[in-house]
Amino acid sequence: MRLLHSVLPRGGRLLAGGGFTLAVCGLFVGLEVYGRYARSDFHDGLAATALLIGVLAVAARHRRAPLGWVRSLGGLVGGLLSPLGRFRYDHGIDLRGTPPVPRRTPPAVWAAAAALLGWAALAAAAWAAFPTGWRVAGVYSSYTAYLALLLCLWAALLVVTFAGVFVPVAVLDKMMKRWLGETDQRRGVEVLVVVGYAILISAVAWVVPPAAVLGLCLAAAAGAWAAYLPRGGDGAAVLWRAGPDRPVYAVPVRRVLALVALLAALLVFAVLLTACGGRLFGAPRLDDEMPLTALFGAVAAWFVPGLMAVLGLRVWSARRNDPARRTPPTAHVAGADPEGVRRAAAAVRAWGWKVRSVPAARAAGEVGVEVVPAERSEATEFDPVWPLKVSADDLATGAVRPRLERRDEIAVRRQLFRGLKRLFKRASAFKNPGGGGFWLAPHWWFVEGVGREDADAGGDPSPPLVGPPYSRAIPPRARQHAHAVLRATHVDMVFVEDGVTFKALERVLRVVAEVYDMHGGRRRAEEQHFRGLPKVRVMIHDYEPGNPFRSDVYPEPKFDDLSRVRVLHVFRDRGGDEERVEPPADFSSSPAPMLVG
């Protein structure tokens, strides 16, 4: 009896301390029993809600008073997932391109694609084996595991639905702000469009089977694969390596986008096939075992075409506004002689230029030409009045073509500086009292606008954008000219420190343009080209692995250790010289005065 009395208090404390764990076990046992009597995913939804509440309760209790079994379960899951650690890569951006880095796609991408294809094949096999619903597999195995899988599937469908609603609404919001501004009318129109779009999609999903959407996903995956295959390189790439001592490889940005689109299309295809694979060619019926999941899948599926259309328009817009493209200049031809105007227009078109002629008015950025008789031609004048008066023969022989090309270059350069001034004025309102600066890169299509990097941001690799995007502030041909100048002078990005005025920045950029003009784009900009500029200190640094920017005087912009970028830094001049000149240690070689006579 003494032994019994000595043991019972300990057992009582054990039961009291493990009461929560026993309740959790009771919940799982109850769910398993309940699953044997559930008949559809309506009942599964109630059980999944109970399971989710139980998991949240366990998380809250574990945070307040750690549970040993939760810690052990976490260690077990971490051990099972530890092999995935070999798919972690160091990454960076390569804007240099020279010397070239070997190209190779990370193995994790192909592993993810194979996993998604295997998931889709398994879902198709499950629907083929159980046409009314694959929930029977959970009923006869582990109902709790089936509920966890069902929750993950529903969460994925909600993500697809929210993306299908949010992305078109965000595009609509930008358009409405541009047309109507910040008004109640805009908000009312947006609410009306969103509600109408949701009702339309729900009605379509109830009537039309989702097989066409799954075919669209496969077509998008095939298109992404076709975009990945060409080996033609572009100027930017993503660098990666499997470890600090492993070789570095590159993947062009174009291929990165194609791979992202490929994986996204396969993921959406697998999710939709898992949800509504049994009703691809027919509407959901109430006698199915999984009608709720099929309905969720159909609604999510019919949001996908609108999402793809919006993303396709964004890709097309990015391609159209790519500064690496070269759009021919436009000449405006005027004159009193219609026959002379026609001949002049034909001659200019033969150069590869676009031509607009009277009666159309000359637009901004067009090179003006006025066709006159040969005796009134100013083709060889040193300082002519524009529009340039030339004869049709001057244009036919191409004698004035270099002058017109230079005039066009000056015009687009002026547009570039006007656009940068507008951007700089807007960005200057976002200065941080703690210091920092702005990133300028109008010549890269994947850089949307002026980026901000603060001194106390902790090295955030994705600085926030400030001001309007480049595509709205700078005309396309002006950005193309910036691409030609900055790529030829080997300037990948420009960092402008807070406190540098736009006039000072304009002087720096004009020096870059002069280097381009003087050397025909065959010499890169160096620091000595900027000596003598007032109020600024220009430093050029080649970021590459093992060569970060170091300065005790000027702020250090943050870059990934694996990046290769040549950055032109424009700092405020602190005065003095940054390099300390040490006196020679050996005075025997110092010159001494020589007495003569």
Which pLDDT value is given to residue 416? 95
Pairing label, strands 465-466, 450-454: antiparallel
Which pLDDT value is given to residue 5? 45
Say if residue 87's pLDDT is above 80.
no
Say if residue 73's pLDDT is above 60.
yes
> Residues 269, 381: one domain?
no
Let me know the angle formed at the C-alpha of 556 by 550 and 561, rounded to the nearest 5 degrees. 75
497-548 tens-digit pLDDT: 988 999 999 999 999 999 999 988 889 999 999 998 998 999 998 888 777 7
What distance in Å separates the CA atoms of residue 317 and residue 387, rounded to the nearest whole number? 33
Which pLDDT value is given to residue 328? 93
> 525 lies in a domain?
yes
> 348 lies in a domain?
yes
Quote the number of domains for the chain.
Answer: 4
> Residues 388, 514: one domain?
no
Q: Which of 399, 431, 448 is the last residue of a domain?
A: 399
With the C-alpha atoms ordered 382, 384, 386, 390, is the resulting torsion angle positive or negative?
Answer: negative
Which pLDDT value is given to residue 290? 87
Is the bond preceding 99 in cis, omega lying within 30 degrees of 0?
yes
> 585 lies in a domain?
no
Which pLDDT value is given to residue 98? 82
Q: Give the model's confidence band at 567: pLDDT under 50 very low, under 70 low, under 90 confident, else very high.
A: very high
409-449 tens-digit pLDDT: 999 999 999 999 999 888 877 777 667 888 999 999 888 88
Range of the domain at 356: 330-399
Q: Which residues pair with 542 in a beta bridge?
A: 566
What distance in Å separates the CA atoms of residue 356 and residue 333, rounded to the nearest whole number? 6
Which pLDDT value is given to residue 358? 86
Q: Which of 367, 399, 431 is the last residue of a domain?
A: 399
Q: Give percent of the chain with pLDDT exceeding 70.
A: 86
What distance in Å separates the CA atoms of residue 263 and residue 268, rounded to the nearest whole number? 9
CA 437 to centroid of chain Cα atoms: 21
Say if residue 553's pLDDT is above 80.
no
Which pLDDT value is given to residue 243? 79
Q: Give the model's confidence band at 463: pLDDT under 50 very low, under 70 low, under 90 confident, else very high.
A: low
Say if residue 113's pLDDT is above 90.
yes
> 325 lies in a domain?
no
35-70 tens-digit pLDDT: 888 888 888 889 999 999 998 988 888 888 888 888
Which pLDDT value is given to residue 457? 52
> Residues 228, 313: one domain?
yes
> Residues 415, 369: one domain?
no
Mean pLDDT of 300-312: 91
263-282 tens-digit pLDDT: 999 999 999 999 988 778 87
> Residues 230, 359: one domain?
no
Mean pLDDT of 287-315: 88
> Residues 114, 213: one domain?
yes
> Residues 61, 106: one domain?
no
> 4 lies in a domain?
no
> 336 lies in a domain?
yes
> Residues 417, 379: one domain?
no
Which pLDDT value is given to residue 86? 66
> Residues 487, 374: one domain?
no
> Residues 338, 251: one domain?
no
Which pLDDT value is given to residue 597? 41
> Residues 250, 359: one domain?
no
215-251 tens-digit pLDDT: 999 999 999 999 998 876 667 899 988 877 788 899 9
Mean pLDDT of 90-100: 86
Pairing label, strands 367-371, 330-335: parallel
> 404 lies in a domain?
no
Q: Give the model's confidence band at 581: pLDDT under 50 very low, under 70 low, under 90 confident, else very high.
A: very low
Say if residue 19's pLDDT is above 50.
yes
Q: Give percent of the chain with pLDDT exceeding 90.
A: 37
Q: Which of 302, 320, 338 is the last residue of a domain?
A: 320
Element (DSSP H or E) covering residue 370: strand 367-371
Which pLDDT value is given to residue 157? 94
> 376 lies in a domain?
yes
> Residues 114, 232: one domain?
yes
Helix and strand totals (H; E) in the chain: 17, 13
Which pLDDT value is given to residue 182? 63
Q: Average pLDDT over the chain, rounded to whole?
A: 83
Per residue, the 3-state secondary structure of 567-593, as one string, reads EEEEEECCCCCCCCCCCCCCHHHCCCC
pTM of the complete model: 0.81
- Environment class of residue 581 by beta-carbon count within 10 Å: exposed (0-12), middle (13-18) or buried (19+)? exposed
Q: Which residues pair with 112 in a beta bridge?
A: none
